[in-house]
Structures are given as structure tokens and as C-alpha cells.
Amino acid sequence: MLSKFRLFSILLLTCLGADAMAQEGVNSPSKNTSATDKYRVCWNADPTTKATIAWNQQSGKPGKVYFDTKDHGRDVKKYAESQKIDRVQKYDGMKNCFIRLSGLKPDTPYYFCIEDETGISRRLSFHTAPVEPKPFTFIAGGDSRNFKDVRIAANMTCEKLRPLFIAFTGDMINKDEAPEWVEWLDDWQQVISKDGHVIPIVAHRGNHERRPETIHHHFDTPMDAFFAFSIGGELFRYYTLNSEIPATGAQEAWLDRDLAAYSKKTTHLVAGYHKPMRPHVSAKKEGDNPMAWADNFYKYGVDLSIESDSHVMKRTHPLKPDADGVEGFSTSLNDPKATVYIGEGCWGAPLRAADDGKPWTLDTESFNGIDWIQVSKDDIQVKTIKITNTARIEPARTLSSFEDPKGITLWEAKGGTVLTIPADR
């Protein structure tokens, strides 16, 4: 016969078990009863107050987003705000749904779920950018087009480092066709942490995004995929440029206008685009189209430029355009107008030999890697992560931490592991 104590213990354990099961069940934040998948948060405009939530609607009508600065799990009734669909785009066999949130609070976590005819999605979250000039991190890289294992490992590395956003500088896929995009968007789910935190993507167009509308249709960027935004008030302005359309003409005119308006008051100016001006791979043609921006960069003092496409990693000295220099550039140390160039696209594309270094190259090497960048009042710091032993990297506990987690492997580049670009005086 069971003693009273044992009977009580069994009852207690049964109740606790049922509770745990309930937690894992209906209220589990990771459960998805909706017909939605392939989630992403896209930054295409002022990320201190705006964000676009995107997903694929597998069936039925597009869902509605419930959101709040407080976490209510999957209990949509408790969310303070909701918003209906802004844009539906059938493309590549998917039904891409976009909800453009605006009027958000800066530097604030937002929790959200999507409710559709079938049910409720997992509970996800993202963090808006600050308007205060506080330090933050972002990850930059591109060219994920061929090797799924490297692509996933790089995505998982991002998830572990919890940067404020990812600047993805093009060539997500190889053939710009449906099966590759379906797979790529599934792999992108690896940037979402177990607790549902989604790292926003700033999507750039590469030459493998052969259809001019691809980036617009998968990430809701402007059609021409060039735009700019600021973070931290006057701390930082980021230029998403499109090297696959003429760099001159409308794009250059816009760039010149925007830099004229922001360069004097902004501490750090950073640009990202796909094709490098001067590739560090000999088989690659010189990037005479993006080279058209070099004079604007120097005129307005763009501090850092992020390139992709060649499938090697590189860092340059601070450079200025120079007709008498090598390939149109020369080193210009302690020059507040000079630009440091990094890149060039190793997120899973076939690596190439780094066989085209210049006198103004700081270092170049061939390995799978992404750039991890911290922006603060004093400087921009760049660490380059080698995509290896991802499982061993200890996840960061806080957003925008720049401490090296256990298990990370950094590129010991010439000039030092950390590349520092001081703020202009």
C-alpha cells in the first residue's frame, strides 16, 4: 500500500508534468499552428521606428500580425497592437507577405505572432535600432549561393553573436530560381534563436539576383534596392547601394544629395554593395561601375565600404581615389576623408585564390568568413570571423555584445585581429 507521502509525491509530479506539457503545448512560444513559415524582419527604412515583417503564407489568406513591447507568448488577444497585410507578392512559388510596421519605439524589443485562418505562428521578436548614440554591432557579408553547410553555419554564427542587424551584400543564391530561394529562406531561419529573436536583414542585390525585382519581392526593399538609414542619431548612417544597375545617373545623384545632407553631422558613414571596385581575385573584372562612387565616398568622407562577390576576404588601408595610384587608389593614412574597404563575400560561395592584392591592401586571404562590426562614438571596429566550429561558439547573452565568445575563431589579419577606424576629429 502506498504511504500518504508517496501518494502526495506522485500527485505533485503528475501535476507538474501536466503543467510542463501545457507549457510545451498550447502556450509554447515555439509552437506554430498557422500556415506560415520562412520568417524574416527586413530593414528598408529608418530602423529606429520601422521594420517590415515578412513570411511565406503556405495556404489560405495572409495572416495578421499582433505585436507589443511586452511578451504575451502566443496569446494574441493580449497584444496591444495588430496590423493587417500591406503587400502580398506571389513569387518563386511562395506567397510573400509583408507588414510594414511604423511608429515603433527606438531601442525596444518587439514581440509578435501571426494569426491566420489556420492558427497562430510561433512567437517571434526583434529589436529596433537606438536613436541614442550608444554602441551597437552588425554583421556584414554576402555570397551564400552554393554551399548549404557553410551558409547554415554562418547563419548560426550570426544567431549566436546577436548583432543588431545583418547587412547581406548580395548573391544569396546561385540561379535566381524558385527552389534555391525556398531553400535559402528556410536556411535563413537559423538566424532566429530558440527564444524567437529574429535578426533584421538589410538586403542588397548581387549579380546572381539576375531578375531586377528579386530582392524587392523577397525582402520588400525599394525596387531599385538603394536606400539609406541612420542609427544612433548622428552616430551612423548606412548606405545600401546597388552595383547591378548604373552607379551613375539617378543612383549617384541620390547618393550625392544624401551624403551632402548627412556627412557633416554624422560621425560614421558606411556603404555596402555587391561588386567590389577593385576585386582581390585576378580573374574578376575591375568594378568600373561601382568605382563611380569612389569620388563621392572621398568627397564626403565615407569611412567604411563593404564589398562582396569575389569569394575572398580582404581589408585595405584607408584609401583615396588617385589617378596616379595603383588601379585608381592610393593609401592615405590619417586622412579623415579616406575610406577603408572590406569584403569580399565568403558566406558559402566557392572560395577563390586571393591572388590580386594591391600595394594598398592590408591583407587578403581565402576562407569562409563574415565581418563583425562594432560602431561606437570613438571608432568602428571590425573583427572577421572564420566560419568553423560553429557548434562550439558560446551564444552571446546580450544584444550587440562585442566580447569574443568562447569557441570563436577570428582572422589574425596583418595589422591586427581588430581593424580600428577612428572617428573623424
Q: Which residues would be at the binding site for Fe ion (CB under 5 A)? A: 171, 206-207, 309
- Residue 358 CB neighbours (<10 A): 19
- Please count the other Cβ atoms lying within 10 Å of the Cβ belonging to residue 389: 12
The residue nearest Fe ion at its CB is: 309
Smallest Cα–Cα separation from 179: which of 266, 275, 92, 240? 92
Q: How far is the CB of 206 from Fe ion (least distance, A)?
A: 5
CA 43 to chain centre: 9
CA–CA distance from 407 to each of 7, 296, 393 (Å)?
47, 40, 4
Q: Which is nearer to Fe ion, 171 or 220 (CB)?
A: 171
CB 43 to Fe ion: min, Å? 22
* DSSP for 169-223, written as a single string: -S---SS-SHHHHHHHHHHGGGGS-TT-B---EEE---TT--STTHHHHHH---T
User: Closest approach of Cβ 325 to Fe ion, in Å?
Assistant: 25
Name the residue with cell 503543467: 19
The least CB distance from residue 146 to Fe ion, in Å, is: 12
Q: Residues with Cβ < 8 Å from 92, sequence gap 6 or more?
A: 177, 178, 181, 182, 217, 218
Q: Based on CB atoms, which residue is closest to Fe ion, 221 or 243? A: 243
Residue 279 C-beta: closest distance to Fe ion, Å = 10
Burial class for 93, CB neighbours closer than 10 Å (0-12, 13-18, 19+):
exposed
Q: Which is nearer to Fe ion, 310 or 361 (CB)?
A: 310
Count CB neighbours of 302 within 10 A.
Answer: 24
Nearer to Fe ion, 159 or 309 (CB): 309
Nearer to Fe ion, 200 or 343 (CB): 343
Give min distance, CB of 201 to Fe ion, in A: 18
User: Which of 344, 346, 333 is closest to 420 using CA atoms?
Assistant: 333
| Short-list 132, 129, 146, CA closest to 350 | 146
- CB 175, min distance to Fe ion, A: 13
**92 vs 171 by CB, closer to Fe ion:** 171
Task: Give the nearer residue to Fe ion in terms of CB position, either 370 or 419.
Answer: 370
